[in-house]
Copies of this chain bind each other. A is one copy, B any other.
Amino acid sequence: MLRVRNRDVLFVVGVGLKKEHLTDEAKKVISRAKKVYGSAKAIKIAEDWIVGEKVIMKKFGEEIYREIERESEESDVVVLSTGDPMVAGLGKFFRDAEIVPGISSVQVALGRIKADLCEVSVLNAHSQEPGLSEERNLMILAKKGVRLEFLGKRMIVLENLEGEDEKIYQVQDTFETESDYTVVFVEVKK
């Protein structure tokens, strides 16, 4: 579920690659914001739902991100991210934001070539040279009763995401999944 907070909150909202990708959740969050930041492309996809002030971002970087965070302490602010905020997106730059997912180019590409995400590694060549042998954290999709063993590693267990019984907790070393809808994040990289 989308957690409700008493204070104003910063949302980073994925808008997908075109208007038809917008989810009802994204539309709702965008339409409630006093101020909406985004690239020209992201603003264009979301424009039918923007009621507050639009700000087209021309530069990206720590300075502007921290300024947006300060603004969000006083007013509802949304930062739009084309595609999904957590796929080579802006989500990771805002530590305290709520993330609203969107359809990413990775998903569209996988659909076109009929490959499953679980068969590929996704690399971001926007920000770095793609490295083939790079050590990666793991995200494991599992049903109930799968035993995982990662000695010395921390795991974050995410159960029943978006359900009323959503639960997120940490375990160490070994874990047996307890729900048919479990995602386990294993911190392999230090």
Q: Which residues of B contact A114 (CB under 8 A)?
A: 86, 91-92, 95, 99
- Rounded to whole angstroms, the CA-CA distance of A100 and B17 in the bound complex is 13
* Docked-complex contact B139 and A120, CB < 8 angstroms: yes
What B residues does A102 contact at CB under 8 A? 103
* Among listed A20-28, A30-38, A55-63, A64-72, interface-contacting one: A20-28
Closest residue of chain B to A107 (Cβ to Cβ) is B101
- Oligomeric state, in number of copies? 2
Could you tell me the distance in whole angstroms from the C-beta of A26 to the nearest C-beta in chain B? 9
Contacts of A18 in B (CB 8 A): 1, 162-163
Smallest Cβ distance from A1 to chain B, in angstroms?
A: 8
Partner among B24, B109, B110, B185 whose Cβ is within 8 Å of the Cβ of A22: B24
Q: How far is the CB of A55 from chain B (nearest CB, A)?
A: 21
Which of A84, A118, A132, A156 has most chain B Cβ within 10 Å?
A: A118
In the complex, whether A126 has a CB less than 8 A from a CB of chain B is yes
Choose from B88, B107, B140, B185 the contact partner of A84 (Cβ within 8 Å): B107
Q: Mark out the residues of chain A between 126 and 166 whose CB falls within 8 Å of any chain B CB in the assembled complex.
A: 126, 130, 132, 136-143, 146, 148, 156, 158, 161-163
Chain B residues with Cβ below 8 Å from A95 are 114
With A109-B185, A185-B120 known as contacts, the answer to whether A141 contacts B115 (CB < 8 A) is: no
A168: interface (CB < 8 Å): yes
Top 8 A-B residue pairs of the complex, sorted by shortest distance between their CB atoms: A99-B111, A86-B110, A125-B142, A20-B25, A101-B107, A17-B162, A118-B124, A109-B183
